[in-house]
Structure formats: C-alpha cells, structure tokens
Amino acid sequence: DTAVSQTPKYLVTQMGNDKSIKCEQNLGHDTMYWYKQDSKKFLKIMFSYNNKELIINETVPNRFSPKSPDKAHLNLHINSLELGDSAVYFCASSHRGTGGGGYTFGSGTRLTVV
C-alpha cells in the first residue's frame, strides 16, 4: 500500500526520557513534515525537509531534533521529555510547494509523558 507510515502509534514514557518516532513514505514525495496536534486539535508545523534538507524549523525547543536519512524517511528524536510534550505527532509528505497538491498524513503517534 502506498502510504505514510509512522511508528509507534502510542508512546507512554516518563519525564526526562529520550524517545524517537519514525516516519516513512513510499509515495515518491520530495518533502516531509512533522506536525504537532494538541489536546484542542490545533495542528502546528514543527519541521519540514525537502530531499533530506531542512527547510522549515519553527519555534520548537531544541530538545526536538529531526533527522532525514533519505527523502523517504523523516524521524523525530525528543530529548528530556516534558509533560507539555504530550500530544499527537503527525508525519506528512507532499510534493514541494503546496501548489503540487495535498499532504498525505500518517496515522499519528500519541505521546503521553507521565
């Protein structure tokens, strides 16, 4: 199936831990994104990579570090997790430029920090 797949789907961890979320797309898109959705369902972009190059880095704590080993993968590593990091994190992909069409989203990773 062509899709954006992210793992894990659920992640429960203690404050102070370090965790990673992985994302892969097999759609041949050249741009990948990480979005954070808070408890009020507000979606905010965190990062964007185009062909492995970081092109968007919103005001995100530097505890969050994205890594793109190739244009089909974009992982998110979070250091020293805090309670406020609890949210649903979505990976998405598209062709560069929103004029190219819509985004394809993964099913999300629900992160709970306790």
Partner 1 sequence: SQQGEEDPQALSIQEGENATMNCSYKTSINNLQWYRQNSGRGLVHLILIRSNEREKHSGRLRVTLDTSKKSSSLLITASRAADTASYFCATGSLTNQGGKLIFGQGTELSVKP
Q: Which of 71, 76, 106, 111 binds partner 1 (CB under 8 A)?
A: 106
Contacts of 15 (CB under 8 A, 6+ apart): 81, 82, 83, 113, 114
HEC string for 29-98? CCEEEEEEECCCCCEEEEEEEECCEEEEECCCCCCEEEEEEECCEEEEEECCCCHHHCEEEEEEEECCCH
β-bridge mates for residue 36, sequence order: 44, 89
Residue among 77 and 105 whose Cβ is closer to partner 1: 105
For residue 100, the minimal CB distance to partner 1 (Å) is 7
Site for partner 1, residues 25 to 84, rule: CB under 8 A: 31, 33, 35, 40-45, 48, 50, 55-56
For residue 37, the minimal CB distance to partner 1 (Å) is 9
For residue 18, the minimal CB distance to partner 1 (Å) is 25
Q: Which of 8, 16, 61, 101 binds partner 1 (CB under 8 A)?
A: 101
* Residues forming the site for partner 1 (CB under 8 A): 4, 31, 33, 35, 40-45, 48, 50, 55-56, 90, 92, 94, 96-108
